[in-house]
Amino acid sequence: MTEQELREIICNRFLQGDLQFPIDLDTHLLDEGICDSLGLVQIVAEIEKRYPGITIDDQEITRDNFGSMAAIIRLVKKKQAA
């Protein structure tokens, strides 16, 4: 998963498609109010849809894994390598 792919998912789902919204790899998605816990579940669903070989367990949906775009990308790359 690339930064651009994830940015598009987040902007389209939570920011009314505003791709110019100032969000970077380290922006805290929950703390900044960009999405909530239900939003994280929506991100997981989109990742699993785009990458059929990846399954993210409920217990993996944590701030550590989904608190920022950098954390999400790390998790997806780890899952792809497994």
Which residue ranges form the domains of the chain, and what is each CATH number? Answer: 3-81 (1.10.1200.10)
pLDDT tens digits, one per residue of 3-14 = 999 999 999 999
The one-character DSSP state at 55 is -
Answer yes or no: pTM beyond 0.95.
no
The one-character DSSP state at 62 is S
pLDDT tens digits, one per residue of 31-66 = 999 999 999 999 999 999 999 999 999 999 999 999
Q: Which residue has the tokens 């505003």?
A: 18
